[in-house]
Amino acid sequence: MKRLSVGFVALVVAVGAACAQEKKTATITITAPDAGYKDTILKVDGTAVSGSGGKFTFTTPALESGKEYKFKVEALIEPNNYTKITRPREVTVKAGDAATLDLTKEDKALDKIVVRWVPTPNDIVDEMAKMAKVNKNDVIFDPGCGDAVMLIRPMKLLGAKKGIGIDIDPKMVKKAQEKAMEEGVAEKVVIKEGDILNEKDMAIASEASVVLIYIGDDLGARMAPVLQKLLKPGTRIVSHRFKLGDWKPDRTVTVRGADGDEYVLHYWEVKEKK
Ligand SMILES: C[S@@+](CC[C@H](N)C(=O)[O-])C[C@H]1O[C@@H](n2cnc3c(N)ncnc32)[C@H](O)[C@@H]1O
């Protein structure tokens, strides 16, 4: 009886040791953009991972050997005080792996970019409309329209025919619609909730003859090829401060605002498609 129980204990210990051997952690070393307005926040499966200098190391729970495990990694990057970039990725590891993941590079299909509302002053909107030579035949489009100031003022002051705006923030869509109503131009304004990075939401742009923009460098660069594809030749574009990626402006001017500050405005005219 004594011999049997010793053998049994030995067997249990051996099986236990084998099981313990089979489970191992894995590490994922993640590199993310470092320089910015705020430190990048990195999460794995929704839990924040600490790091510094753009380097983060995540150790997985003990994993069974031979099996593949998928982890959802997401970086929240703030390159400046008005832009938030969400960069999601997935990484697959096995027990014992030492994986790496590079989140410094953008993926146009996966990354989401949102810019917060900062309105263009009224007198600068008027300068932009003047630069675009807005007239009564024009349909104005503002991607990221905020409270629709860039649609309402040229319609009221220069008699533009129609204004079209999209904004990702439903609160801004409501605000823009209310303002258009208050200003008596609601029947000439179409405001929709939409994402500049979604080509379907942007399809509405093909109706425009003038595009007025204030959206930041990151979103501007991402939107440029979509605008080039959708806009009719001859469409005039004026952007407050920010460029449209590699798309070189035809003209850039600096104007002084009523507040005494200098404002840079860029102008493009859409060329015939080759
Ligand atoms: C800098 S404000 C400009 C507002 C207005 N165009 C002006 O000049 O007064 C940018 C606006 O774009 C909206 N926005 C930010 N990211 C967007 C996105 N991905 N798609 C659509 N709208 C976006 C914001 O909600 C905000 O109202």
Range list of H helices, 67-169? 122-131, 149-158
Which residue minimizes the CA distance to atom 15 of ligand 1?
A: 115
Per-residue confidence at 21, pLDDT binned at 50, 70, 90? low
Q: What pLDDT digit, counting tens, does each position of 219-230 carry?
A: 999 999 999 999
Distances (CA, A) of 188 to 6, 84, 140, 159, 238: 90, 32, 11, 11, 21
Report the CATH number of the 117-269 domain.
3.40.50.150
| Nearest protein Cα to ligand 1, atom 14 | 144
Atom from ligand 1 closest to the CA of residue 125:
8
Note every long-range contact of 20-24, with CB atoms under 8 Å and residues 24 or more positions apart, other chains counting.
22/64, 22/65, 22/95, 23/62, 23/63, 23/64, 23/65, 23/95, 24/62, 24/63, 24/65, 24/95, 24/96
Domain positions in the chain = 21-114, 117-269
Neighbours of 253 (CB within 10 A): 13
Residue 76 per-residue DSSP state: E
Residue 234, token pair as written in the block: 């001859």
**Position of tokens 């997985």?**
60
CB of 195 closer than 6 A to ligand 1?
yes
Instruction: Please name the CATH architecture into which domain 21-114 falls.
Output: Sandwich (2.60)
- pLDDT over 70 (residue 14): no
Phi then psi dihedrals of residue 229, to 5 deg: -75, -40
Comparing C-alpha atoms, which of 135, 142, 155 is closest to residue 240?
142
188 Cα: distance to centroid of ligand 1 (angstroms): 20
Spacing, Cα 269 to ligand 1 middle (Å)? 22
At residue 28's C-alpha, the angle toward residues 27 and 30, to 5°, is 150
- Above pLDDT 90, what percent of the chain? 88
Q: Is the pLDDT of residue 4 over 60?
A: no
Mean pLDDT within 91-120: 96
| Chain segment 156-212, per-residue pLDDT in tens | 999 999 999 999 999 999 999 999 999 999 999 999 999 999 999 999 999 999 999
Task: Convert the pLDDT of each residue in 229-271 to its tens digit.
Answer: 999 999 999 999 999 999 999 999 999 999 999 999 999 999 9
Nearest to 143, CA basis, from 224, 55, 60, 40: 224
Q: Is 122's pLDDT higher than 80?
A: yes
d(CA 167, CA 178): 14
The CB of 166 under 6 Å from ligand 1? The reply is yes
Ligand 1 atom nearest to 113, measured from its CA: 19
Burial letters for 129-157: b for 16+ Cβ neighbours within 10 Å, e otherwise? Answer: bebbebeeebbbbbbbbbbbbbbbbbbee
Q: Measuring CA to CA, how many Å separate 131 from each of 237, 238, 243?
A: 9, 7, 16
- Tell me, using a 6 A CB cutoff, whether residue 172 lines ligand 1: yes
**83 close to ligand 1 (CB < 6 Angstrom):** no
As given in the structure block, the two tokens for residue 24 are 């191992």
Query: What are the pLDDT digits (tens) for 124-165?
Result: 999 999 999 999 999 999 999 999 999 999 999 999 999 999
pLDDT tens digits, 24-52: 999 999 999 987 788 899 999 999 999 98
Tell me if 51 sits within 8 A of 29, measured CB to CB: no
Query: Concatenated DSSP letters for 207-251?
Result: G-SEEEE---HHHHHHHHHHHHHHSPTT-EEEEES--BTTB--SE
Q: Can you tell me which atom of ligand 1 is nearest the CA of 82?
A: 1
- Give Cα separations from 218 to 19, 191, 205 (angstroms): 50, 23, 19
